[in-house]
Each structure stands twice: as C-alpha cells, then as structure tokens.
C-alpha cells in the first residue's frame, strides 16, 4: 500500500505524535462499535427503549434497573484484551514518539497495552463511584455488587447508595480539564493519527480542528468529513494497517 510507506516515513520523521481513537480501534478486541450494522445502536433489545435513550443521564436517574441491565450486557467487557493497534501505539509512546492518546473509548485498553498519557474524554467503565460517599469501584467490583441486587443495580458496600459509572452519558458535559488537555496536546502535535472514528460525535470530533501540525492521518474503514483535508488517508481494518507498519 502506497500510503503505508508514506505513513511509515511520516512516523519516522515526527516526535510529537497524538493518537485520537474511537470505537473502531477496539472492535478487533471483541468490543462492538456504536453505529455500524452490528453496532450497539443497531442491536435489538427486549424492551421498547432505544440504546441512545438508555445511556442518557435522565434515563439513568429514572430507570437505573434497565440502564444497568443494558450497561453491563452491552458496554462492559471485562475479558477484552488490547489488540495489535493498542500495543503498537503504546510502543510508539515508549519510543518517545507518541506524546498523548486522546480517546473516545471507555474500555481502558490503551492503558492495558501500556500507554501512560491517555486522555479519556468520555470516561471509563473501569471507574465507578458511590453517588453519596464517593467510594471508588472498578468495573469488576461494580458488576459483582450488581449481582447482589434483584434489579441488578450496584449499591455501595460502604453506605448503601447507588453507584454510578464514570462515563459521560448523553445530556452530560465532558470534563473541562480533559477537554483542555486534549486540545492542548493536539495543538502541539506535529502529527495527529485519527483512528477508528467516524468523527461524528461532538464535541470530541471538533478537536481535530485544533491541529496545526504537519501530518493529519486518518485510519478508518469508512469516509470521514476530514478525509479531503488529511495528508494521509487509509480506509482499511486497523489490524491490517498495523501489520503492514510492523513489517
């Protein structure tokens, strides 16, 4: 692939690379994305609610039982492991080339692969907290507590109040410091590699506009709104792309 050689050369040239990742990066780890034919938003549910409705703040407050049934079934993947792309980006960070990973994903796989500077703009399923006493729980602990309740709602084992996942639901705002860190990292970068995202979810998709560096790289199976202005575009499975980069 001609563009693979271009990408290899650009990576060799740059020393302030930022990775901006979306759900398509984790599909090879067995985690479905949101908008594809087999994605979370297109799955048939046993109830009459839409997935987008269920993962909203107001729905969480009104129907925590339905929310948690969906959440633990469709959004928490305790057995998922980093794939070759997560590992490759972590290796580039270890070599001093990647300075930050900005991710829309909530699966913790970048960290599991070894990436250190990860900005999770939509939060993480591995962080959960009691809404009253703020005791923290990882994903496994929250899931185990949910199994003790007939409605599958995890309650704090310290004060008995409901636990909330530290993920950004619809109707909720992104964390301001995460936004600032993401934008500043992208603004300083000499290369921005956008991988596995259709760049349709705002405000995160708008972060790309802050990039002023030399190489804007888009690695995604389908077309994005930034394809026409990118320096390198590869429409393929990220697994195949990384296999070529590693040759």
pLDDT for 36 equals: 52
In whole angstroms, how far apart are CA 98 and each of 83, 131, 206? 18, 36, 21
Give catalytic status of residue 63 as yes or no. no
The DSSP code for 67 is: H
What was the pLDDT predicted at 197?
Answer: 93
Q: Could you read off the pLDDT of 143-185 as tens digits, one per residue?
A: 999 999 999 999 999 999 999 999 999 999 999 999 999 999 9
pLDDT of residue 71: 96
* Angstrom distance (rounded) from CA 82 to CA 218: 20
Report the candidate in 31, 152, 38, 160 with the shortest Cα–Cα distance to residue 103.
31
Number of residues written out for the chain: 247
Residues of the chain with pLDDT under 70: 1, 34-47
Phi-psi region of 34 (alpha: psi -120 to 50; beta: other; left: phi over 0): alpha
What pLDDT does 163 receive?
A: 98
Question: Closest Cα to residue 20, out of 215, 246, 229, 163?
Answer: 215
Q: In what order do the strands lie in the sheet with 163-167?
A: 136-137, 123-130, 163-167
Domains along the chain with CATH numbers: 1-30+82-122+173-247 (3.40.50.1220), 32-76+125-167 (3.30.1600.10)
Catalytic residue among 122, 134, 152, 235: 122
Give Cα separations from 2 to 7, 75, 139, 237, 241 (angstroms). 9, 37, 42, 16, 12
User: What's residue 44's pLDDT?
Assistant: 64
């Amino acid at each position: 692939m001609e563009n693979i050689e271009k990408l290899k050369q650009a990576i060799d040239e740059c020393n302030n690379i930022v990775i901006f990742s979306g759900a398509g990066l984790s599909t090879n780890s067995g985690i479905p994305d949101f908008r594809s034919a087999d994605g979370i938003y297109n799955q048939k549910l046993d109830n009459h609610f839409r997935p987008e409705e269920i993962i909203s703040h107001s729905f969480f407050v009104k129907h925590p039982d339905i929310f948690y049934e969906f959440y633990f079934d469709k959004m928490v993947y305790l057995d998922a492991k980093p794939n070759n792309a997560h590992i490759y980006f972590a290796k580039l960070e270890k070599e001093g080339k990647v300075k930050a990973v900005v991710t829309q994903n909530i699966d913790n796989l970048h960290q599991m692969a070894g990436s250190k500077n990860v900005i999770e703009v939509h939060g993480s399923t591995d962080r959960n907290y009691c809404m009253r006493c703020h005791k923290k729980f990882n994903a496994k602990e929250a899931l185990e507590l949910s199994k003790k309740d007939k409605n599958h709602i995890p309650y704090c084992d310290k004060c008995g109040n409901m636990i909330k996942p530290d993920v950004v639901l619809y109707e909720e705002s992104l964390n301001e410091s995460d936004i600032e860190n993401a934008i500043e990292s992208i603004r300083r970068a000499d290369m921005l590699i956008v991988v596995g995202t259709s760049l349709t979810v705002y405000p995160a998709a708008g972060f790309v506009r802050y990039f002023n560096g030399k190489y804007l790289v888009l690695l995604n199976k389908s077309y994005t709104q930034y394809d026409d202005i990118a320096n390198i575009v590869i429409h393929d499975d990220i697994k195949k792309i990384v296999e070529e980069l590693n040759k």
